[in-house]
Structure formats: C-alpha cells, structure tokens
Amino acid sequence: MEATEIRKLAALEDTHWWYRERRILLARALRRLAEAGQRPSRALDIGAAGGGNTRVLRAHGWRPVALEYSVEGAGVARERGLDVIRADARRLPLPTASLGLVVAFDILEHVDEDHLAAAEIHRALRPGGTALIAVPCDMRLWSAHDVAVGHVRRYDRESLRTTVERAGLVVDELWSWNVLLRPVAAWRRRRSTGSDLDQLHPVVNLGLRTVIAAERYLPVRSAPGVSLMLRAHRPG
C-alpha cells in the first residue's frame, strides 16, 4: 500500500465505520478466546498500519507487537506508542511457536505468495495458538479501489480455506462480513476510479455504522459479503 494510503487509513481508522466495526469484532473474538480458556500472551498484529487493532489487543491483556512492511506504516505505529517491527509477512523475524495469537486483517490479499505468509503464521504460533484472518472477497467486486490499495486478489471461501489449511492451520470458523452493505459496495466499486478510503459526512458514517452493527445479530454470515473472516488454530 502506498504511503499516502497508509496515512489516510491511519487518519480514518479511529472514526470510520468500517474500521470501528472491525475493532468491535476483534474485541468480541478476544472475549470468546478468554471464555474458552485461552490466556493472553504474546500476539502479533500483521499489517498494523495505524495500530487500531494492536491497541485492541493491548486493551484485552495481550502483549502485542505491530508488524509493518513499509517505512511509513511502521512510523505511524511508532508515533502512536506501539511496539513495532518492520518486516515481511513471508519472513517473520520471530521464533517458532512463540505466539499465542496472530491477527492478519486485510493482509494476505497484498502478498503474491500468500501461502508463504500463511505458513509463517503457522510457524510462529505455538500449538493451540489462534489466527484471526480477514480478507476481501469475490473477484466480481474487483475495482480501481483494489488496485489503488495494492491488492493482488480477492478470495472466495474455498481459496481462503485452502491457503490456510495448506499452511498447517485448522480452520475453526469461516464467515462473511459486510453482507448488508454488499449492494452498495458493488455499486460504488463499479464507479470507482481509485481508493474509497475517504472521510465521510458524520451522518453518513453513523448510518453505515448502524447497518453494519446489525450484522452482529442477524443470520447473514453464510450469505455473500464484501469480506471473509476466519478463525483458525495451530494443532497441538
């Protein structure tokens, strides 16, 4: 992702409906891990950008490190007081079996050799450790936005599951996200000429937040969405 897009993302992520809801979903996943008996330990947030997800990890008792490939992204995370390492997701500079949790939200689609990144997540996790992964889905939604933010592909359920399982991880759950707003996203992407990471009018932002929040309570996780989310673990 270009430096200008990283700075734009960092400026937007505290208030933008998309990033706000993703943090809420991450927090919910962390609570469920705690309820299942997984104690907070070392965690890695791959592609941390502004560090919004890293801060969620820290708030829930994890000891997170933000990983960024770009100089700009690493600089933004450091400016926000986060522990940062600058590295390639295909070659994590971490010991084998050293992490209890890896978060990789909107990362694999940027990597040509996504299987190598998935294999590194498996290697760095300790047995029983958890991976939380999110990717954009459905090549029918491919647009100038994907090009502007550096996507290599969009996934379907089979391709995401295959990538993760071939790395040695066991998929526990795989579901769609941003289902209700998919028609809006499809309409906008057909007309896009670049990234749609833009500041929204507060009323529009609130409306979109309300719609996306409704998905937490509706049986839509198996319907087509804009993103796919996955929880997996390294077998013991």
Classify burial at 31, counting beta carbons within 10 Å of its beta carbon; exposed 0-12, middle 13-18, buried 19 or more.
Answer: exposed
Q: Give the pTM.
A: 0.93
Cα 192 from Cα 197, distance rounded (Å):
11
Three-state secondary structure call for residue 170: strand
Q: pLDDT at position 194, please?
A: 63
Q: pLDDT at position 74, please?
A: 83
Q: At what angle do helices 71-79 and 3-12 cross, to 10 degrees?
A: 30
Q: pLDDT at position 1, please?
A: 54
Contact 209, 22 (CB under 8 A): no
Sign of CA pseudo-dihedral 221, 222, 228, 231: positive
Cα 52 from Cα 77, distance rounded (Å):
9
Return the CATH number at 62: 3.40.50.150
Which helix (H) or strand (E) segment is 121 a member of?
Answer: helix 114-124
Contact 28, 132 (CB under 8 A): no
Structural domain of 215: 3-233
Three-state secondary structure call for residue 17: helix
pLDDT along the chain (236 residues), means of 10: 64 85 97 97 93 95 94 82 93 97 97 97 98 97 89 97 98 98 88 70 93 96 97 96
Cα 111 from Cα 109, distance rounded (Å):
6
Q: pLDDT at position 195, please?
A: 66
Q: pLDDT at position 3, please?
A: 57
Cα atoms in the Cβ-side hemisphere of radius 13 Å centred on 123: 14
Q: pLDDT at position 49, please?
A: 82
Helices (H), the chain: 3-12, 17-35, 52-59, 71-79, 114-124, 144-148, 157-166, 182-191, 202-214
- Partner residues linked to 230 by β-bridges: 133, 174
Total domains, the chain: 1
